[in-house]
Structure 1
Amino acid sequence: MKALFHQVFDYNYHSNKQLISTFADLEVVPEKSVELFNHILNAHHIWNARILEQHSEFGVWQEHEPRAWEEIHYDNQRNSFEIITNTDFWEQRIKYEDSEGSHFTRSLQDILFHIINHSTHHRGQILMDLRANGIEPPEQDYIYYKR
C-alpha cells in the first residue's frame, strides 16, 4: 500500500507541476482554471492538516498568488509523503470536521485516495476550461506519466 500511495502522489505532484508550468507560460490564465487550481491546493492542504490533527491555514476556496502555488504544492507533497512514509496502519480512523461543521470519521487510506481522486477530477475540469479558452493543455493521463 505504501508503494502504491507513493506512486500515485508522485503522479499527482507531476501533474500539478505541469499545470503550474503551463500557467506560467500564459499571458492570462482563465479565471475558472485559477479558481479550480487554488481549490486543488487548498483541499490537499486541508486533508493533510486533518490527518496530522493540525489547524488548516487555508480555506477551501481561498485564492493564492500564482507565485505561491509551487511552494504550497511542494509543502502539500512533502506532508503527504511524510504521512505515507510513517504509516503502517492504513485502516487508522481519522476524525475530522468538514468545512460546514459536520463531524466524520474515515480511514486514512480512504482520505489519501480521496486527495488523489479529488485532484484528478478538478484537473480534468481545468483541462476542459483551458481547451474552451483555446489553450492546448498538457497531457495528464496517468499512462503517459508512466511512459
Structure 2
Amino acid sequence: MDLHQHLRLMADYHRWAFERLYAEVDGLDEESYRRDVGLFFRSVHGTLNHLLLVEHLWQARLRGTVFPVSGLDQELEPDRAQLKARLLAFAAGWRPFVDALTPAQVAGDLDYRNTAGQPFTLPYASLVLHVFNHATHHRGQISTALTQHGAKAPVMDLPYFLLKEVPRAALHG
C-alpha cells in the first residue's frame, strides 16, 4: 500500500471512528454531555467542539488558507445536534480531500503558521495523518468520559475497521 492509499484508508477510518463514537455519545443525557469531567477541553461537548475546530484549522492550512481562531477551546457550535452534523460531515469530507491530492502534494512539504503565528515546514502527508491521529487521541478521552458517565466506550481500533469495513483486496492494492 502506498502512502496515498494509506491516507485514503485513514480518512475512511476517521469517518468510521466518529460514527462509532457518536453511537455512544448520543446516549448521554444533556447534563452528562456538558459536564466538566477533567478532559483537556473539559466536557464531551467541549472536546467534540475542539475536534471540529481543529478539523477546520488543519484543512485550511492544507489548502493554503487560514481559518482564524481565538483559541483551541473556541466554541464553534453550541448546539449539540448541529455539532454532530457538522463534525460528521467534516469527517466524511476528508476522503474526497485526500482523493484530490496530487502525488507532488503527498510527497511534498507544507509551509504553515501555528495559532501563535510561528512558521513551520513539515511533510504534507504527515500533517494529514496528524489530523486523524489527533482525533484518535481525543476520541480516546471521550471514551473515558463515557465510562465515567456509566456508558459504554465504543470499539474504534483500526484492526476492527480493517476487518469489518475494508475489502481485503484494498488492503493489498
Q: Report if TM-score (shorter chain) is over 0.5.
A: yes
| Aligned counterparts, 1:29-44, within 5 A | 29-31=33-35, 32-44=43-55
Residue 90 of structure 2 corresponds to 75
Please, which moves more after superposition, 56-65 or 101-110?
A: 56-65
SS of corresponding position for 1:105: strand
Unaligned stretches of 5+ in structure 1?
none
Amino acid at match of 2:86: E
Please, which moves more after superposition, 18-27 or 38-47?
A: 18-27
Please, which moves more after superposition, 55-64 or 107-116?
A: 55-64
Q: May I ask how many residue pairs the two structures share in their alignment? A: 146
- The 1:92–1:83 alpha-carbon spacing in structure 2 relative to 1, beyond 3 Å, is farther
Please, which moves more after superposition, 22-31 or 112-121?
A: 22-31
Instruction: Tell whether the 8 Å contact from 1:48 to 1:76 is kept in structure 2 after alignment.
Output: no
Q: Distance in 2 between matches of 1:113 and 1:27?
A: 33
Q: Alpha-carbon deviation of 1:30? A: 4.6
Residue 11 of structure 2 corresponds to 9
Residue 85 of structure 1 corresponds to 99
Residue 20 of structure 1 corresponds to 22
| Aligned counterparts, 1:1-147, within 5 A | 1-28=3-30, 29-31=33-35, 32-56=43-67, 60-63=72-75, 64=77, 65-68=79-82, 69-78=84-93, 80-87=94-101, 88-89=103-104, 90-147=106-163
Q: Distance in 1 between matches of 2:13 and 2:99?
A: 16
SS of corresponding position for 1:25: coil
